[in-house]
Chains A and B, each alone.
Chain A
Amino acid sequence: MPHDHDHDHDGSELDEMTARVMALETLLTEKGIVDPAALDVIIETYETKIGPHNGATVVARAWSDPEFHDWLARDATAAIAAMGFTGRQGEHMQAVFNSPECHNMVVCTLCSCYPWSVLGLPPVWYKSMPYRARAVREPRAVLAEFGVTLPDTTKVRVWDSTAEMRYLVVPMRPSGTEGWSAEALAELVSRNSMIGTGLARAPGAAQ
């Protein structure tokens, strides 16, 4: 049965990878296992609706609301779900808090497990083999590549994600932000600061 497919492409050749994915989509659609329209919704959701702004609001609330901070430390899965950010893979969340004594950094050495519900999809570098291979072995050298230099007295702790457990780094709240609203604080929380390859921005620093 012919079925319409209006993929954009500007030639009459399909590359092998595209053809293989279209083949899977066709066969699984014919079996009624997937719905092509649902696939488009998934892509749209992950590209536009879920992103690091979710995590930034969690961090900003933890900075400004001591009760939420304690809840996040105790049961991050529930505290984050209460803000409306629920993982679709049934994973548990753990929040790890940076301090002058300890800097936390997250990797997935196995593949690319990542806290999607709060950070969206992982950036290329997070998925790349060099990051996966080096983050545990030489975290300070990796941090240097990201432009982060920590005092020698700060210990670096690397957390290895799994399919069941994902980590959210809560960076240190920048000084000079006393009395700021959670909305204003969230602007200082970059994606990398929640993976531990960055720090929260100082007030007035360029984005």
Chain B
Amino acid sequence: MSAPDTPIPGITGAGAEPHFFAPWQAKAFALTIALHEAGTFTWPEWAAAFSERLHSDIAPPTATSSADHAEQYFTAWLATLEALLARLALTDPAQVAEAAQIWQRAAHATPHGQPILFERGLADRKDS
């Protein structure tokens, strides 16, 4: 896993306090809490899935900044959530990928300063 002397990030300084370094991290966290509170999964189920992912596909971080560590942590968090929801048949990975693409296309097509709208029709312009 980690080399014995890998320094621990964010003990002091600017990186020590913020829990979320980007809005998507906070949203991924809140989605998980909301789904747990709705009874979608138990917390031990969540923790088991998350810990399995943290121990399987994460290479030791090459950078030591707090932001990098947080990004890696929440990337694994979101991947766990996506996999768990797919396993519970609540979302279909292809649908999630399509919806993500719709959001990206919508953002791309929306002039700066305008609210971005989620419109399914945009998916039809998907790459072949």
For B, the interface residue count at a CB cutoff of 8 angstroms equals 77
List of A residues within 8 angstroms of B108 by Cβ: 12-13
Residues of chain B lying within 8 A (CB to CB) of residue A146: 11
Binding site of B, secondary structure by majority: helix, strand, loop or mixed? helix
Q: Mark A89-133, 1 if CB is under 8 A from B, else 0.
A: 111000000000000000000111100000011111101111111
Establish whether residues A21 and B43, one from each chain, have CB atoms under 8 Å apart when the complex forms: no
User: Is the CB–CB distance between A18 and B24 below 8 Å?
Assistant: yes
Interface flags for A31-71 (1: CB within 8 Å of B; 0: not) read: 10111001110110011000000000000000000000000
| Bound Cα distance from A163 to B78, whole angstroms | 18
Inter-chain contact A39/B27, CB cutoff 8 Å? yes
Per-residue interface assignment for chain A, residues 156 to 167, with 1 indicating a CB less than 8 Å from any chain B CB and 0 otherwise:
000000111000
Given contacts A23-B99, A90-B43, A125-B16, contact A130 B34 (CB under 8 A): no
CB-defined contacts of A111 to chain B, threshold 8 Å = 47, 50-51, 54
Any chain B CB within 8 A of the CB of A178?
no
Shortest CB distance A69–B (Å) = 29
Cα separation A99 to B107 with both chains bound (whole Å): 57
B34-45 Cβ-contact flags toward A at 8 Å (1 or 0): 111110101110
In the complex, what residues of B have CB within 8 A of residue A22's CB? 24, 27, 99-100, 103, 118
B75 touches A17 (CB 8 A): yes
Taking a contact as CB atoms under 8 Å apart, the answer to whether A163 and B48 are in contact is yes
Contact B34 A21 (CB under 8 A): no
The contact of A89 among B9, B43, B100, B111, by CB within 8 Å, is: B43
Asked if B2 and A130 sit within 8 Å, CB to CB, the answer is yes
Select one of B18, B24, B46 contacting A17, CB under 8 A: B24
Residues in chain A within 8 A of chain B (CB atoms): 2-28, 31, 33-35, 38-40, 42-43, 46-47, 88-91, 110-113, 120-125, 127-134, 137-138, 142, 145-146, 162-164
What are 20 inter-chain pairs, A to B, with CB distance below 8 A? A13-B108, A18-B24, A20-B78, A21-B31, A22-B24, A23-B100, A27-B99, A28-B35, A34-B38, A42-B29, A43-B29, A91-B43, A112-B73, A124-B15, A125-B8, A128-B9, A129-B58, A132-B2, A134-B4, A164-B44
Shortest 10 CB-CB contacts between residues of A and residues of B: A163-B47, A23-B99, A110-B51, A89-B43, A124-B10, A23-B100, A133-B2, A130-B6, A19-B100, A42-B30
Chain B residues proximal to chain A, CB less than 8 Å: 1-2, 4, 6-11, 15-20, 22-24, 26-31, 33-38, 40, 42-44, 46-48, 50-51, 54-55, 58, 60-61, 66, 69-70, 73-75, 78, 81-82, 85, 90-91, 95-104, 107-112, 115-119
